[in-house]
Chains A and B, each alone.
Chain A
Amino acid sequence: MNFPDRHTMAGALQLMREGRLDPAGLPPTRPDTCGAVIFTDDTPGLPGHLQHFPAALKANIARQGWPTTCSSALLAGYRSPFTASAVRRLEAAGARFVLSTAMDEFGMGSSCEYAVTGPVANPWAKGRTPGGSSGGAAAVVAGGTAWYALGSDTGGSVRLPAAYCGLVGFKPTWGRVSRLGLVAFASSLDTVGVLARCVADAALVMQAMAGHDPGDATSLSSPVPSFPGPAPVRGKGLRVGIPRDLLECDMAPGVRRCWEAARQEMLAAGLEFREVRWPLAAQGVTMYQILAAAEAASNLARFDGSFYGRRVEEPVPGGLAFQDSLQATRTAGFGPEVKRRILWGAHVLAEGYREDLYLRARALRHNLGRQMLAGFEQVDVVALPTAPETAFPLGQRPDDPVAMHGSDVFTVPASLAGLPALSLPAGVDEAGLPVGLQLVGPPLGEDVLVRVAGLLEARIQFSAEQEVPWCRP
């Protein structure tokens, strides 16, 4: 770690255990200057080891009584009558959630510009994106407003903002953390993840929220092992896979430089490299666009304003027709990116197109998953950059969905295969913007990811201390 221990939960807890820090001596949280916070709540929580560390939720994770707006005009004023399972588990461990944060509407976007409350800025450079869709969650953690945040990752929505904001972003195996209370975007890809300042903090939160939940039929029943603590682990004997097919994609010079430096560090740490072949991974974005849109069109069908949310009623002669109200509500309530994906999703499932688009993408996804799993027969983790570039300027891409999806090329394969993945800071580019290194693990390999990431984190010179926003004087 290259910033003072008391700025991370794991470090502060260690200091408190040793009697060298009391809770009053913790660095205070800072105000949000990025436009990320959309709701605050100061209700005290339960006692527990996480009680001294105010935390944030992405606006698509339900907490009883809180607005769960998903940054959509359609859900303005909607408050959830129940709490997400992941949040309940954390609260039982003392977690105090005090903020709800902006996001790309319903999780659709990579820049946090598609939020009804306006774009969110990156604490490292205010004119740039924090990444998306968990951009608000990343911004409050990087900016020191919260110690950690829960986000959701469907195709990279936790890992990408983590990379752009110099954070650790941890997405579990699909099914490892209950999705009950996470507003569905693409159910077969959605996961609840965590954004934190260091690997140990991310592991602490993941440990508390992982595990079987009878309220989620897709939740896995396998027991959750203890994730390694903050102590450095040895790299000898660990094998790291390099997916050559994906690394042939374009990436920015600063990203490539950090990636090469990270490789050198891994070698120096005694890790062994093996090449893995994931030839279908380069088509992952295309599969993702079809499958995620199909599920999104279905999941978002419920938002018609009749049972909850904002309803737009167009007076119609002779009474109000359901179809008219439905159309008016959805037309006014959804933003452009959501509409784009719903239309596309309805199209890929429509008769006459289903075989060529939806069913083909599903078959490809299945094969990709098999390819990726085969790779793990020879390696413990696979390493690759998190994103091909660093945070881009706000306002550059909202109307260019193709370029926007380009940011996801390295993150969607793990989502499609349901594998756990973690992004950690790997340095900064020429402009001083953070670069992310991504580790992908085998199914249920969260503990391996934590182990390797902890090892790399200790060796990689990430950034000068005074440059990290949450440490800045």
Chain B
Amino acid sequence: MVSPLKATVGLEIHVRLATGRKLFCACPVRFQAPPNTLVCPVCLGLPGSLPVPDHGAVRLALRAGAALGARLNPVSEFARKHYFYPDLPRNFQITQYDHPLFRWGELDTRATGGCRVRLQRLHLEEDAGRSVDPAGGEHTLVDANRAGAPLLEIVTEPDLGDGRQSRRWLQSLLLVLQHCGVCEGNMAEGDLRCDANVGLVGHGPGALTEIKNLNSFRHVAQAVDREIQRLQGMVEKGETPAVTTRGWDAARRDTVFQRSKEETRDYRYFPEPDIPPLQVAEDWWQAAREGVPELPHARQLRLQQSWGLTSQEAWALSRSLDWAGYWEEVARSLDDRGIREAGRLAATWVLGPVSALAPKGSPASLAPEVLVELLELLAGRDITAEVARQVLGRRLEQGDPRPPRTMVRDEGWLSLRAGPELEAVIDGVLERHPAIVRDYLEGRVQVLEYLLGQVMKLTRGRAQPSMVRQMLGDKLAGLRGNF
């Protein structure tokens, strides 16, 4: 049996830019507004209307290009792509063709277990409206709310190999764009849509199949793998796959034929005469480069190498701009106060109780100074972890505004140090549970945990468990002599 031919996958990704308004007019872009309420003469293509490019969209596209190391075309050009379709009000789309905003670029995630994918081009274009065919209706309904929404199209080289890799790389790309504030990344609202070009090595220089309009990561992975399987199957049977455009039928989990190469449309591109060539001033380009924050994969590496976090911890923090910044502030403050393993201590608490209890999954409701104060108490063994969790619960769930130090003092939560008070509690527990003490002395040492639990309960978590365990052990050893 001959091993199947290697597949190549390239992606064409449409990312909705997070400007909140359309590319060529001031209409807002909003999901699920009543149909045809977010429209004006420009996005409806009314006679006499003219498109004026939105500077905000250009700036976001520049930042995306800077983040992806792309080569800027100082002068790019908008062009018209012609096809008749009900949801395309002008019957042409304003896009960029011969002279895109960027050529080349890459997103390389190999250092953190991903892959390197080169980018062919990045360009600006407007979205189309939406056509809806109501069941049983005679007419197609058109909603132009989306018409003119700002998109960044990113075209990759065929550097991916299968569905899983495509999906993971695409998730990384979206994360980068979200970090830059370029895209909100709301998949359910169609912030990212993707076409996949699938080819087989040795079968033509280009792709054999273009799968159109994949709107979730899962569909990308499934459709790409299914299509590779289909193409390989044909080759194994001695057939020659034709170049086709296909769609993804999620219900049947199969790609479906849409059109063949012979039916390729002639889009009759030509430069958009209503918009002068887009000249990017040097200060805009500089501002765009400066606007790129540390990207998630770079941050993950730094957190592992400089702060000793595990790769899971580093990734969990790096994937969220909010939490990564929050963690960093807490870790630096603790480190400045000379607390050992400050990064890991902060990571354990930020990724654990803080993010679990924080309202709306955002660190906004717990100032970093508060967490620093709390973790300092914990690191100094002034409080136990149990008490620290209680303080967080009070602050985040009950809105208790007291600073941790005050709360701990007021509530009497300071740790019980080894001393007469703790010894009295331990002695009391041993006296009340003679049967268990006997079990222990007869060799069932695991019952120590029960006794420990009793002590913790009576001290309401104020005793350090390790210390209590030590003291219980010592006391019981003393009793063995008497037994």
Cα–Cα distance between A298 and B78 once the two chains are bound (Å)? 14
| Contact with B47, one of A68, A186, A304, A346 (Cβ below 8 angstroms) | A68
Cα–Cα distance between A61 and B47 once the two chains are bound (Å)? 9
Cα–Cα distance between A80 and B82 once the two chains are bound (Å)? 25
Q: Is A214's beta carbon under 8 Å from chain B?
A: yes
Cα–Cα distance between A216 and B49 once the two chains are bound (Å)? 9
Cα–Cα distance between A302 and B383 once the two chains are bound (Å)? 72
CB-nearest residue of chain A relative to B264?
A351
Q: Are A217 and B45 in contact (CB under 8 A)?
A: no
| Contact with A217, one of B44, B53, B80, B92 (Cβ below 8 angstroms) | B53
CB-nearest residue of chain A relative to B278?
A217
Q: Are B90 and A217 in contact (CB under 8 A)?
A: no
Cα–Cα distance between A349 and B83 once the two chains are bound (Å)? 13
Which of under 10, 10 to 19, 20 to 34, or 35 or more describes the interface residues of A? 35 or more
CB-nearest residue of chain B relative to A326?
B84
B68-90 contact mask (Cβ, 8 Å, vs A): 1 or 0 = 00000000000010101110011
Q: Is A283's beta carbon under 8 Å from chain B?
A: no
CB-nearest residue of chain B relative to A68?
B47
Q: Is A181's beta carbon under 8 Å from chain B?
A: yes
Q: Is A253's beta carbon under 8 Å from chain B?
A: no
| Contact with A216, one of B41, B52, B138, B266 (Cβ below 8 angstroms) | B52
Q: Are B138 and A349 in contact (CB under 8 A)?
A: no
* A354 neighbours in B (Cβ, 8 Å): 268
* A182 neighbours in B (Cβ, 8 Å): 48
A319-B41 contact given A68-B48, A183-B47, A349-B268, CB 8 Å threshold: no
Q: Is B238's beta carbon under 8 Å from chain A?
A: no
Chain B residues numbered 33-51 whose CB sits less than 8 Å from any CB in chain A:
41, 44-51
Q: Are B46 and A80 in contact (CB under 8 A)?
A: yes
Q: Is A402's beta carbon under 8 Å from chain B?
A: no
* B380 neighbours in A (Cβ, 8 Å): none
Chain A residues numbered 177-213 whose CB sits less than 8 Å from any CB in chain B:
179-184, 186-188
CB-nearest residue of chain A relative to B137?
A319
Cα–Cα distance between A386 and B49 once the two chains are bound (Å)? 31
| Contact with A306, one of B50, B138, B142, B270 (Cβ below 8 angstroms) | B142
* A214 neighbours in B (Cβ, 8 Å): 52
CB-nearest residue of chain A relative to B52?
A217
Cα–Cα distance between A297 and B83 once the two chains are bound (Å)? 12
Count residues on chain B whose CB falls below 8 Å from chain A CBs: 33
Q: Are A298 and B80 in contact (CB under 8 A)?
A: yes
CB-nearest residue of chain A relative to B142?
A306
The interface centre, meaning the residue of A78, A184, A214 with most chain B CB atoms within 10 A of its CB, is A184
* B269 neighbours in A (Cβ, 8 Å): 349
* A180 neighbours in B (Cβ, 8 Å): 48-50
Q: Is B274's beta carbon under 8 Å from chain A?
A: yes
Q: Are B86 and A322 in contact (CB under 8 A)?
A: yes
Nearest CB in chain B: distance from A67 CB, A: 11
Q: Is B273's beta carbon under 8 Å from chain A?
A: yes
Cα–Cα distance between A180 and B53 once the two chains are bound (Å)? 14
Chain A residues numbered 431-465 whose CB sits less than 8 Å from any CB in chain B:
none
| Contact with A188, one of B48, B52, B273 (Cβ below 8 angstroms) | B273
A294-B86 contact given A62-B47, A218-B275, A302-B45, CB 8 Å threshold: no
A332-366 contact mask (Cβ, 8 Å, vs B): 1 or 0 = 00000000000000100111001000100000000
Q: Are A298 and B53 in contact (CB under 8 A)?
A: no
| Contact with B270, one of A60, A82, A84, A358 (Cβ below 8 angstroms) | A358
* B50 neighbours in A (Cβ, 8 Å): 179-180, 215-217
Cα–Cα distance between A307 and B23 once the two chains are bound (Å)? 20
The interface centre, meaning the residue of B41, B84, B144, B266 with most chain A CB atoms within 10 A of its CB, is B84
Cα–Cα distance between A193 and B264 once the two chains are bound (Å)? 42
Cα–Cα distance between A319 and B166 once the two chains are bound (Å)? 40
| Contact with A346, one of B45, B89, B268 (Cβ below 8 angstroms) | B268
* B80 neighbours in A (Cβ, 8 Å): 298
Q: Is B276's beta carbon under 8 Å from chain A?
A: yes
Q: Is B91's beta carbon under 8 Å from chain A?
A: yes
Q: Are A81 and B273 in contact (CB under 8 A)?
A: no
Nearest CB in chain A: distance from B403 CB, A: 52
Q: Are B276 and A218 in contact (CB under 8 A)?
A: yes
Q: Is B433's beta carbon under 8 Å from chain A?
A: no
Q: Are B273 and A187 in contact (CB under 8 A)?
A: yes
Q: Is B140's beta carbon under 8 Å from chain A?
A: yes
Q: Are A349 and B89 in contact (CB under 8 A)?
A: no
Q: Are A322 and B140 in contact (CB under 8 A)?
A: yes
Q: Are A308 and B46 in contact (CB under 8 A)?
A: yes
Nearest CB in chain A: distance from B274 CB, A: 5
* A184 neighbours in B (Cβ, 8 Å): 47-48, 274
Q: Is B252's beta carbon under 8 Å from chain A?
A: no
Nearest CB in chain B: distance from A107 CB, A: 12
A62-B48 contact given A302-B89, A304-B91, A320-B138, CB 8 Å threshold: yes
Q: Are A301 and B84 in contact (CB under 8 A)?
A: yes
Nearest CB in chain A: distance from B243 CB, A: 17
Nearest CB in chain B: distance from A294 CB, A: 6
* B270 neighbours in A (Cβ, 8 Å): 294-295, 298, 349, 358
Nearest CB in chain A: distance from B77 CB, A: 13
Q: Is B139's beta carbon under 8 Å from chain A?
A: yes
CB-nearest residue of chain B relative to A308?
B46
Q: Are B89 and A323 in contact (CB under 8 A)?
A: no
* B48 neighbours in A (Cβ, 8 Å): 60-62, 68, 80, 82, 84, 180-184
Nearest CB in chain A: distance from B448 CB, A: 79
* A61 neighbours in B (Cβ, 8 Å): 48
Chain B residues numbered 148-174 whose CB sits less than 8 Å from any CB in chain A:
none
| Contact with B268, one of A82, A215, A350 (Cβ below 8 angstroms) | A350
Shortest 3 CB-CB contacts between residues of A and residues of B? A301-B91, A187-B273, A188-B273
27 residue pairs of the A-B complex, CB under 8 angstroms, read A62-B47, A81-B46, A82-B48, A82-B49, A180-B48, A180-B50, A182-B48, A183-B47, A183-B48, A184-B48, A186-B273, A187-B273, A216-B274, A218-B274, A218-B275, A218-B276, A297-B268, A301-B82, A301-B92, A302-B47, A307-B44, A307-B144, A320-B139, A322-B86, A326-B84, A346-B268, A350-B266
A interface, CB within 8 angstroms of B: 60-62, 68, 70, 75, 78, 80-82, 84, 179-184, 186-188, 214-218, 294-295, 297-298, 301-302, 304, 306-308, 319-320, 322-323, 326, 346, 349-351, 354, 358
B interface, CB within 8 angstroms of A: 41, 44-53, 80, 82, 84-86, 89-92, 138-140, 142, 144, 266, 268-270, 273-276
- Kindly list 4 other residue pairs between chains A and B, CB separation below 8 angstroms, not including A217-B276, A350-B268: A183-B48, A187-B273, A301-B92, A323-B84
